Amino acid sequence: MQKIIIVGAGPAGLLLAHYLLSRGNYQVEIYERRPDPRSVEQSTQRIFPLALQTRGMQAIRGIPKLEEALTKEGIWAQGVFIHRKKGEPRKVKRKNPSLVIDRNRLTLILLQELLDSYDSNLVRVKFDCNCVGVNQADQTLTIQSAEENFLVSFENLVAADGSRSQVREVLASQGNLHCQQEFIPDVYKSLFVSRVSPDKTIEFGGNVLHTWTIARGIRLVMVPQPDNCLHGTFIFPPDKNPLENLTTGEAILDYFAEKIPSLRPLMTLEDAEAFRQRPVSKILTVKCDRLNVGGQILLIGDAAHAVSPSIGQGCNASLQDAMIFAQVLDQYQDDWEKALPAFTSQRLEDVHALRDLSDYTVPRSKWMILEMIFHLTLGKRLRPWFPQIFRPLPMELIMEEATPYSEVLKQSQKWISRVRNSMTS
């Protein structure tokens, strides 16, 4: 039996635990700095939902019963409604639907299925335990709990502790890997409304994502949830906060009536006041020069490659990490000394490509946004007759296929370069 220590009980760490334990020759111990989600009232934990697409669902389907359990708590989204200030929204249909699910629900299901499937002698998950130190020479972690600090020995360690990974920070400070960390140039506020207006006269589609472009760099994305709500984010440049001088809920309602009139009927004064008071948040991106340190330590998910959420691939790529690493273990008969550097060799180019795709797939200029919408709607229909003119945009390749990110980037260099240039002009 090989014992594996995983730091981080988010989607990536929990799915990897599923894959390891399914092999029949592992024990897994997981340490998570947050409280046990089973002891937290889920209705109070509002968080931006995730859209699991082809890559993420492939990884989920590698473990029996997971897709069925997740489907009960999520919604299959069939496409996107692109709303305009006037007129009917444009619908962009997807060849493959996305499973939309709240991140908290995803984590809770992965955890519960793990603990239901394996005995406590094979898997242990300890919450409220923060990793505060890594000694690679002694192969020990220092874990801080509410009561004490204690040491945990490891033969193999997995850092799955998110974009602010403590394990990664220690390894980087010791010179064992090099990382770039940057905040994306946008900030956001979370917004939660019912998808049915209070007077029941207006109802938004419950099986599509909804988007609005309000001005250059200012946009709104709303995602349906099983409780008949829309959860989403209002995104804007940090130096151009359109809400800054709106000091009352009534002022927020007036802003939406002017700028996003189609959504205004869904908002109550209580929704608007909660939105006004919610903090402005920033997202940290991470780019590492490798995904392993020696033959003992693996980095996966946001700990290794956190990206902008603009194309919804952060969680999908993290789940895919777990599946691909399991495939690499197959190749090397569970020899981690060989499997870890092989995983870096196989995966690094793709996660680096994902960084560029996340930053430069969605344009900000009005004319490029209109061009993108044209390609995603009418251009799709014209493509069979004019394939050289209406080539698939990177968004289509990412959302509807499992083409490696590095290959998508190669096929999309012209579009990516144009978007990058438009952002600097």
pLDDT in tens, the chain (425 residues): 899 999 999 999 999 999 999 999 999 999 999 999 888 765 444 566 789 999 999 999 999 999 999 999 999 998 889 898 887 888 888 788 999 998 999 999 999 999 999 999 999 999 999 999 998 889 999 999 988 899 999 999 999 999 999 999 999 998 889 999 999 888 999 999 999 999 989 999 889 999 998 988 899 999 998 888 999 899 999 888 999 999 999 999 999 999 999 999 999 999 999 999 999 999 999 999 999 999 999 999 999 999 998 888 999 999 999 999 999 999 999 999 999 999 999 999 999 999 999 998 888 777 877 787 777 777 667 666 766 666 787 888 887 778 899 999 999 999 888 888 887 76
Q: Give the largest CA-CA distance in the chain.
A: 68
Cβ atoms within 10 Å, residue 240 = 13
Strand duo 218-224 + 208-215: pairing: antiparallel
Nearest to 341 by CA among 389, 371, 297: 297
User: Tell me, what's the pLDDT at 172?
Assistant: 94
Q: d(Cα 304, Cα 306) in Å, to the nearest integer?
A: 6
Q: Set out the domains of the chain in order of their start, with CATH numbers.
A: 2-72+101-182+284-358 (3.50.50.60), 184-282 (no CATH), 364-424 (no CATH)
The answer to whether 33 and 154 are in contact (CB under 8 A) is no
Q: How many CA atoms lie within 13 A of 416 on its CB side?
A: 18
Nearest to 104 by CA among 170, 167, 43: 43
User: Tell me, what's the pLDDT at 379?
Assistant: 65
Q: d(Cα 282, Cα 183) in Å, to the nearest integer?
A: 7
